[in-house]
Amino acid sequence: MKTLLIIGLGLTVSSLAFKANAQTSQSAANDKMRIGIRAGANLMNMGKIQAVGQEYSTDSKVGFQAGIYADLPMGGGFAFLPEAMFIQKGAKLSENGVDLDTKVSYIDIPVLIGYKATPELTVFAGPQVSFLLSQKSTGALGNGTQGESTDTENFSKSLAGGAVGLGYSITPNINVNARYMMDFQKALKDDVNQDKIKNKGFALSLGYTF
């Protein structure tokens, strides 16, 4: 019994020492200017679309994202977290004879401010701007019209939006990031008469900080 108590005490002390050392390492990393790379998946939709005289709510579509980021300490637990990300947005719709699938690619530039609630956990929020790269839409309307389009003429070339989320550092180098994003402006131009189409959704990614 005495031996078991000694072993248990030793494991507890070792565990506490390891945790303290990990927190010290993370705290030291948080005080440095660092850059990293990130990739992951997102689940986006485009709000409501008007088709053949009716209004439909779009379903979410899975996309890919990847890019670079910086972690620049500001003091007091705050950090400036700019990013440049390639991201696929879009939506799906299959209802009452309307069958559409749209994938739109952007370069997103989030300008985020983070607060490190603990050495490992960061809460962040801020504005972002999206620059249109390409789009591909396929599908059919209830009136029999169907086809495929890659024309970006009707799409807004840049959009203002915002993001809010959490980041967690598994190690000083490896982190996970979860966020909600939305555009404040509609994805299509004024003369298209689709005022409720706005990109929004969730993203989850894995990052490596150098």
**Confidence (pLDDT) at 146:** 73
* Span 136-159, pLDDT tens digits: 999 875 555 678 899 999 999 999
| pLDDT surpassing 50 at residue 209 | yes
**Confidence (pLDDT) at 16:** 42
Do 166 and 178 contact (CB within 8 A), yes or no?
A: yes
Do 129 and 158 contact (CB within 8 A), yes or no?
A: yes
Q: What is the mean pLDDT of residues 49-56?
A: 80
Distance CA 88, CA 73 (A): 30
Q: Is 12 exposed, middle or buried (0-12, 13-18, 19+ CB in 10 A)?
A: exposed
**Confidence (pLDDT) at 94:** 87
What's the gap between Cα 122 and its chain centre? 15
pLDDT range class, residue 18, cuts 50, 70, 90: very low
HSE, side-chain direction, 13 A CA sphere, residue 117? 8
For residue 124, give both structure tokens. 């962040």
* Span 91-108, pLDDT tens digits: 999 887 778 899 999 999
DSSP 156: -
Of 87, 7, 4, the C-alpha closest to 42 is: 87
| Global model pTM greater than 0.75 | yes
* Span 110-122, pLDDT tens digits: 999 999 999 999 9
| pLDDT surpassing 50 at residue 75 | yes
* Span 169-208, pLDDT tens digits: 999 999 999 999 999 999 999 877 788 899 999 999 999 9
